[in-house]
Structure 1
Amino acid sequence: MVLTTILEKNDYSAAGLAIHNNGKLFIAGLGDFETGGTVFSINPDGSDMEVIIDESHGYLPDDLVFDENGGFYFTDFKGNSSQPDGGMLYVSPDFSEITPVLPNLSIGNGVALNPEENTVWVSELSAGRLHRVSLASPGEIAPFGTAVPYQFTGTPDSMRTDVDGNVYVAMYGQARVLVFNRNGLPIGQILLPKRDEGHNLRSTSMAFKPGTNELFIFTNDWNGGEGSQIFQTKGFANGTPMYSHK
């Protein structure tokens, strides 16, 4: 395996990534975690950087996911457990409009779409909640379309979905991934090695290998001495794409 650096060390504080159908990488950056972050795009070789959402908007973009039209949902990582200043927003396919979809979140974190793209899932880190949002159209909540099907013990981080509509949520500080069905009911979990020994607890995100159920889980060991690691396992079904379809 050959590893190549395509983006040098910078102040963007990259937190999430998705791939547009034109092949460009879209990266959510938390910036200074206070005044404002960015969403920017680059080519796979790191060239042609373009800022899509700049610091002046005041968002702290943490994660993002494209829909089939090329618009994307992103989470705003602001607030705390008693100050719900974050949220989840939708950016139109031409990137000209930003529409708040689910405001008043205590640190919006992971975001994912179901295969039919009529439901968007959001994890709320500080309040420990899993939100299911039914959509009437892109960026528009259906009548009576929101629910909290699960309350976590701990802090949920990034998430992915598979072609069966299952939802995978990385649990920060717990060295595991929880898996829910399309209704938000828990159906399983994936435990990382050495969890019982207190290692690899900082499980933050994951990604499917395109077209397969091969799942890669990202973690690091805090001060445990074993560094950052990527673990390989199998999901319940093939993963949904990280890119828009059209």
Structure 2
Amino acid sequence: MRQITDGLRFPEGPIALSDGSVLLVEIQRGTLTRVAPDGTTTVVGDCGGGPNGAAIGPDGAVYVCNNGGFEWHDLHGLTAPGHQPAGYTGGRVQRVTMEGAVTELYTEVAGHPLRGPNDIVFDEHGGFYFTDLGKTRDRDRDRGGLYYGTVDGSRVEEIAYPLTEPNGVGLSPDGSRVYVSETVTGRVWYWDIDSPGRLRREPGAVGPGGARLLHGFSGYQPLDSLAVDSEGNVCVATLVAGAISVLDPDGELKDVVTMPEYDVFVTNICFGGPDLRTAYITSSGLGRLYAVEWPRPGLRLNFNT
């Protein structure tokens, strides 16, 4: 495993590009940033708030889940996100062009304001699934959900609610299943998909929103974002452990990949390189981006360039 760069301000949402660079968000800085192969960084767009998950859409723009920002703390030398900040203005889904133009696409669903949009993945039809983790305050916290939207602004729907701090979201290689990781419960759930944005509620599916359980982690292992590889394994960032945990499609834990230096906030993974065998991992508390050769090719995301 090699470090590409450091000094990032809580990086997340990595997107590997064909030229070897990586787009990512810096949540604390409020930017969409490009990291070149040599580690130099360039701001692509100023999103404000707290840009979180990101994905390239069918029009070549980057769609960003903006959680509205956090209070920030020092946790034994690590940068740590906290509660809803003073001056919080709400969550939103944003469109960011490669030239840096930032526009708001969605700020509410059916009259309910978005609170803390977190992660996003596009299906082959050009629509996107995204999670809203919600915000935490001193005495209460929001309930979260899974949503589906289109890039033309004509459709955004709540499709699974309530969930408990839903964070990462990803699709199976054939697009027939959507996965969601919940942070505080340490669980990965899944739903089968009938049609774009339409989930199948199977008899006996007693999880939240009619979900089925893929895997529940033992002990205290909160989860962050995830990516799916070409064999259908779910690679989920595992907080506290400071690792990427690899679950096979049946939910068995098959591998745990740790970072060179411990960071409680290992938050996300994406795949790139000519054969998709390079995994890029955000070590957010330390402000680093790592690259490691992966034992299996990743899954090529829809519309990635």
Tell me the TM-score range normalised by the shorter chain.
Answer: 0.7 to 0.9
Residues 46-57 of structure 1: pairs in structure 2 closer than 5 A: 46-47=100-101, 49-54=102-107, 57=112
TM-score w.r.t. length of structure 2: 0.70
Question: In the aligned structure 1, how far is the partner of 2:264 from the partner of 2:141?
Answer: 26
- Alignment correspondent of 1:62: 118
Is 1:90 the counterpart of 2:148? The answer is yes
TM-score (ref. length: structure 1): 0.86
Residue 205 in structure 1 maps to residue 260 in structure 2: no
Distance 1:84 1:54, change over 3 A: closer
SS at match of 1:5: strand
Contact 1:85/1:104 (8 A) holds in 2: yes
Conserved 8 A contact 1:65-1:113: yes
Counterpart contact for 2:276–2:300, Cα < 8 Å: no
Quote how far apart the aligned CAs of 1:93 are.
Answer: 5.4
Consecutive unaligned residues in structure 2, runs of 5 or more: 1-37, 70-83, 206-210
Q: 1:171 to 1:123 in 2, by over 3 A?
A: same
What is the identity, as a one-letter code, of the residue corresponding to 2:45?
L
Amino acid at match of 1:240: L
2:248 corresponds, among 181, 188, 203, to 181
How far residue 122 of structure 1 moved from its aligned partner, in angstroms, is 0.1
Q: CA deviation at 1:243?
A: 3.5
Counterpart of 1:224 in structure 2 is none
Distance 1:117 1:26 in 2: 19
Is 1:150 aligned to residue 215 of structure 2? yes
| CA distance in structure 2 between the partners assigned to 1:6 and 1:83 by the alignment | 32
Letter in 2 for 1:239: G
Q: Which runs of 5+ in 1 are unaligned?
A: 222-226
How far did 1:79 drift? 6.4
Q: Distance in 2 between matches of 1:38 and 1:93?
A: 13
Runs of 4 or more off by more than 6 Å in structure 1?
Answer: none
Give the distance between the partners of 2:61 and 2:244, measured in 1 at CA.
28
Cα deviation, residue 83, structure 1: 6.4
- Kindly state the Cα deviation for residue 84 of structure 1 after the two structures are TM-superposed: 6.9
Specify which structure has the bigger relative contact order, considering alpha-carbon pairs within 8 angstroms and separated by 6 or more residues: 2
Match of 1:126 in 2: 184
Aligned to 1:168: 235
Alignment-mate amino acid for residue 118 of structure 1: S
Code of the residue aligned with 1:220 in structure 2: it is S
What is the aligned partner in structure 2 of residue 117 from structure 1? Answer: 175
SS in 2 for 1:204: strand
Higher mean alpha-carbon deviation, 234-243 vs 129-138, is at 234-243
CA distance in 2, matches of 1:46, 1:94: 19
**What is the number of equivalent residue pairs in this alignment?**
233
Q: Which residue of 2 aligns with 1:242?
A: 301
Separation in structure 2 between the aligned mates of residue 206 and residue 112 of structure 1, nearest angstrom: 11
Q: Percent same amino acid among aligned pairs?
A: 27
User: 1:18 aligned to 51, 55, 78, which one?
Assistant: 55
What amino acid sits opposite 2:133 in the alignment? Answer: F
Equivalent AA in structure 2 for residue 107 of structure 1: E
> Residue type matched to 2:281 in 1?
I
d(CA) in 2 for partners of 1:37 and 1:84?
12
1:192 aligns with 2:259: yes
